[in-house]
Structure 1
């Protein structure tokens, strides 16, 4: 029997009705109870039909369902339904095919979060679920999240997460891209953030006296816990911190600016469907040109974002940023001329 996303909700409602010995549920009552629950979830729901309810009862009575045993009590021309055993409930039954399929899909999705600190328990759980349910092979996966399991430094995630939680001071051997040799950095860790499939750790760096110093995990060679008093973060709300930027870097002298852009052709349609930033205000100047206004702090990631669109975008304001982008494009052109 084909099922939709509300099928399991209906089965639970019907189960409650069938085991309620204090009320008689006729077919119209069953429809009403199911519709009340469905309308709470989706006010636009058109409800269900008598045919659907009879189909649900047939499924619940089948081996693919829970094999329920119903008694039909006739009063005049009407019939009400009740479990033969008042103590029966599908909640007390072993998992059926539908429930197992729900779990299969859940495992499929959860398996893609392996390695992320708050989902570390999945690593041990998934093999047990796979064995218990005789689950799918890899080619049955139907949902894929954007991630890079081969990213250098991703194995540090769990240990860093624990260090933040337990407030431990860490000493890092760190290799910046621009440096020939590794440097040593002390950090009091506060926050982990992912951007563009890379992870970054934020914390207090005593050498710079900054509470928002960040390290890219793929540039960390190793780290160790050291016995120093942990300095707590009492100045940065991380939700607010990232509100005015795109990406992970916030210039020390950065200020909120009004940004004016024009996007051309299909790129404009893409930008309207996936806004750049929460402050975005857009309007079509003509059929092929979209004007976009933003309020944010210009940083390296935003600059790279603009450059990634090449000839499909033009910076109008601020002029300093427009000139910088123009200079970068000119330098790129020289490589081909």
Structure 2
């Protein structure tokens, strides 16, 4: 049985009534107490019925609830309700079955983050959460696309803290094309994951750019400096990434209209999994889908187009069409 907000409020009210040894709570009293609290929260509440109160009491007595030990005292023809142990409260009781199942699902999700440095606390907290929670069979029913062995992931926790505590960093960095690392002074602002790689964004004072981008797997080392932290006042990261795919944004780049034609299953795939939020589609015939986009054309977008191979054609802009054709010809030459 799922516990919604109003139900939880009623259980709390009933719990308070059952613990009160200074007053006798009959059914109508329980209804009145619940309605009083519900009306304070929602003046338009229509109140609850006797049937609802009986259902609530039955749930609280059940194993799915809190297995409360409730004594029904007779007063002439009426009955009032009170805990057998006045010191009992559902707030102090063990977790019920619903809560255990919810917690078990949350634990299964948390467990998948154990390899990531900023989630090291999971190693300690999971055994504590597991106490008293047993099951005949533990079955994983959800999985995340993550790689705990990814190079550079060990820096995640340190970089997260640097952003949170506003620390200026000196990052030793070695791009793929460089034979040796070089130092970059960076005021870190944002961590972003794309295609199973992590990227750090921040202000590079030497270049005067607020969106300097470093791939974590190319970081060689990190040290804190005594420099004064320069806060981010220039970029809304949600808007920044909303106009492109991936993490690469060429200097001065703006969005451009793009038209693609996709065939067959590739078209059906893109309809169900849009390339970008700006996407608009139209079937030109049962086998040909026209896709219109408005986004920053960057490295990641170009790679995505090439991933569709023979099933995609760039219609416009002309320069992207020609560049894509040249890349496909170069790829073909590898097999000649």
Q: TM-score, normalized by length of structure 1?
A: 0.79
Whether 2:272 is the aligned partner of 1:273: answer yes
1:248 positional shift: 0.3
Q: Deviations over 1:53-88 (max 9, x none)?
A: 9787556434564222345689999x8884445775
Distance 1:133 1:332 in 2: 59
Distance 1:84 1:223 in 2: 60
Distance 1:229 1:115 in 2: 32
Distance 1:208 1:143 in 2: 43
Distance 1:189 1:136 in 2: 44
Distance 2:200 2:67 in 1: 53
Cα pair distance change 1:62/1:270, threshold 3 Å: same
2:94 paired residue number: 94
1:153 paired residue number: 152
Contact conserved, 2:63 with 2:97, CA < 8 A, in 1? no
The worse-fitting range, judged by mean Cα deviation, of 113-122 and 324-333 is: 113-122
* Aligned CA-pair RMSD: 3.7
1:212 paired residue number: 211
Cα pair distance change 1:53/1:225, threshold 3 Å: same
Contact conserved, 1:115 with 1:157, CA < 8 A, in 2? no
Q: Deviations over 1:170-224 (max 9, x none)?
A: 1122111111222222212111111111110111223322221111001111111
Distance 1:18 1:159 in 2: 46
Cα pair distance change 1:72/1:277, threshold 3 Å: same
Cα pair distance change 1:284/1:82, threshold 3 Å: farther
Distance 1:63 1:6 in 2: 14
Instruction: Give the 3-state SS of the residue equivalent to 2:303 in structure 1.
Output: helix
Distance 2:60 2:125 in 1: 30
Instruction: Give the 3-state SS of the residue equivalent to 2:257 in structure 1.
Output: strand
Distance 1:164 1:13 in 2: 43
Distance 1:81 1:192 in 2: 58
Q: Deviations over 1:126-175 (max 9, x none)?
A: 23223x13557996221111111110111101111111122222112211
Contact conserved, 2:264 with 2:311, CA < 8 A, in 1? yes
Cα pair distance change 1:69/1:154, threshold 3 Å: same
1:314 paired residue number: 313
Cα pair distance change 1:22/1:268, threshold 3 Å: farther
The worse-fitting range, judged by mean Cα deviation, of 305-314 and 232-241 is: 232-241
Distance 1:210 1:11 in 2: 51
Instruction: Give the 3-state SS of the residue equivalent to 1:91 in structure 2.
Output: coil
Distance 2:296 2:204 in 1: 23
Contact conserved, 1:172 with 1:184, CA < 8 A, in 2? yes
Cα pair distance change 1:129/1:71, threshold 3 Å: closer
Contact conserved, 1:18 with 1:25, CA < 8 A, in 2? no
Distance 2:229 2:8 in 1: 53
The worse-fitting range, judged by mean Cα deviation, of 312-321 and 89-98 is: 89-98
1:96 positional shift: 2.9
1:69 paired residue number: 69
2:223 paired residue number: 224
Residues paired across the two proteins, number:
319
